[in-house]
Amino acid sequence: MTWEVVIGLETHAQLTTASKIFSGAATRFGAPPNTQASAVDLAMPGTLPVLNKGAVERAIRFGLAVGGRIAPRSVFARKNYFYPDLPKGYQISQYEDPVVAGGSVAIVVEGVEKLVRLTRAHLEEDAGKLLHEQFHGMSGVDLNRAGTPLLEIVSEPDMRSAAEAVAYAKALHTLVRWIGICDGNMQEGSFRCDANVSVRRPGAPLGTRCEIKNLNSFRFLEKAIEYEIRRQVDLIEDGGKVLQETRLFDPDRGQTRSMRSKEDAHDYRYFPDPDLLPVVIGPDWIARVQGTMTELPAAKRHRFVAEFGLALEVATTLTASREMAEFYERLVARLGGLHKMAASWLTGEFSAALNRSGLEVNAAPVSSERLAALLQRVADNTVSGRSAKEVFDAMWNGGMEPDAIIDARGLRQVSDAGELEKAVDQVLASNAKQVEDYRAGKDKAFNSLVGQVMKATQGKANPAQVGEILRKRLAR
């Protein structure tokens, strides 16, 4: 009997507002400790929170993007707990009436698309940060991050493997950047996931879950879930029971370890924050935000498949970021077709070059215009696919026009029939043995002859044309 894995993710996306959710302090990353914490963030007596409209607007954008319901009236609540990074002794969050309910995110795993349902998305403030390394025998408290606006996005327990959880996290990461509500910078903690993991026998009720906190890379998310699945299965198969608890992932050991037993909602003594009015969102506000939305990643992906005949996986890669998708659209618009060729160049050479140089699409030294010019030269047989890669590298490193590089390096394919026939005849004359082998039914000999002609023309012959001429000559 096998085990079924059940995973639900809670994701914290830091919103891109310039100032905090309840104060005017800046949200910029990396300032010296405690230089971006106002009296409100420090919870000085007599201060009152004022809601940042931009944070609400971003939550509306998200709700529209996932097809969720935007609450006409949502409420901020106090979540009470004590920790030195939380000056007020409570976190302002949303509990019973979140700003967004429902919705879904589409993921693609092994060529199949699946919907992951969302439970809710709510607005809340971030806490500060404890610094343990700089002070001997003491801890420092940096409250710069206190009050930073977060959207917490909670999924239903719809994922059935670590691969699906990673695909979901990536799809969500793509979406929040696409609609401009979060910069998605995982090193800076702008996008982090908690993974809830349980296992059960197929058909049985949900098993007891463990929550692994603060996973800030897709690789750690995958490793942590894989380790946790193994741990729970081993534990149950050895006659033990999974305890509901909060666990931490240790990337150095590749293991999760217990942090604390899981608290229940009633431990937090949630109650509506009397300092903040309910948030009222009217249909006009929603309509205004809707008017600024552009085509979303899933819609674009489906269109690339339907209109351009791309494979679902390829279309998914091309729509992993808005910049890449738009680069592709500019490219095929210039080419007036060649959709598959353009897609394979972007997901192949172009993406590899971006990775190698650590650049974002918009900083690529090869523009869509120049790449289109190069692909045109492949399509009209001026250069072979192999030479085109050499031209591409030269464009990437030197920024010249493709035609100039083709001429400077003598990469023009020989398609002049007369010239090619001469080369073929010479090769046939001096390779009697292979000609004999071919006539005796050895197909390999044919490839070897093509190779000889390519060599004789320094790789500049058009291989398809060479094959054609050879076949004609040998048929005689």
Residue nearest Mg ion, Cβ-based: 10
- Under the binding rule (CB under 6 A), the answer on residue 465 touching ligand ADP is no
Residue nearest ligand ADP, Cβ-based: 8
Other beta carbons within 10 Å of 471: 11
Q: At residue 259, what are phi and psi to the nearest 5 degrees?
A: -105, -50
Could you give the C-alpha distances from 381 to 165, 387, 417, in angstroms and in order?
44, 11, 13
Q: Smallest gap, in angstroms, from Cβ of residue 81 to Mg ion?
A: 13
Residue 273 in tokens: 């924050």
Determine the size of the site formed for ligand ADP (CB under 6 A).
Answer: 16
Contact partner, 6, from Mg ion, ligand ADP, none, Cβ < 5-8 Å per class: ligand ADP
Q: Which of 409, 413, 403, 408 is nearest to 383 (CA)?
A: 413
Contact partner, 147, from Mg ion, ligand ADP, none, Cβ < 5-8 Å per class: none
Residue 284 in tokens: 């006009």
Q: Which of 217, 225, 221 is nearest to 198 (CA)?
A: 225
Other beta carbons within 10 Å of 121: 24
CA distance 204 to 337: 51
Q: Which of residues 8-47 bind Mg ion (CB under 5 A)?
A: 10
* Burial 125-153, CB ≥16 within 10 A → b, else e: bbbbeeeeeeeeeeeebbbbbbbbbbbbb
- Under the binding rule (CB under 6 A), the answer on residue 206 touching ligand ADP is yes
Task: Please identify, using beta-carbon distances, which residue of 52 and 196 lies nearer to ligand ADP.
Answer: 196
Residue 212 in tokens: 């692994």
- Under the binding rule (CB under 6 A), the answer on residue 155 touching ligand ADP is yes
Choose, by CB under 6 A, the member of 54, 102, 140, 157 that binds ligand ADP: 157
Q: In this chain, which stretch among 27-35, 133-141, 202-210, 355-363 interacts with ligand ADP, using CB under 6 A? A: 202-210
Task: Please identify, using beta-carbon distances, which residue of 217 and 246 lies nearer to Mg ion.
Answer: 246
* 225 and 162 Cβ atoms separated by less than 8 Å: yes
State the binding string over 2-31 for ligand ADP (x if CB under 6 A, else -).
Answer: ----xxxxx---------------------
Choose, by CB under 6 A, the member of 58, 88, 209, 322 that binds ligand ADP: 209
Instruction: Map tokens 């670590």 to a residue.
Output: 162
- Under the binding rule (CB under 6 A), the answer on residue 190 touching ligand ADP is no
Task: Please identify, using beta-carbon distances, which residue of 151 and 343 lies nearer to ligand ADP.
Answer: 151
Q: Which residues bind Mg ion (CB under 5 A)?
A: 10
Site residues, ligand ADP (CB under 6 A): 6-10, 154-157, 196-198, 206-207, 209, 211
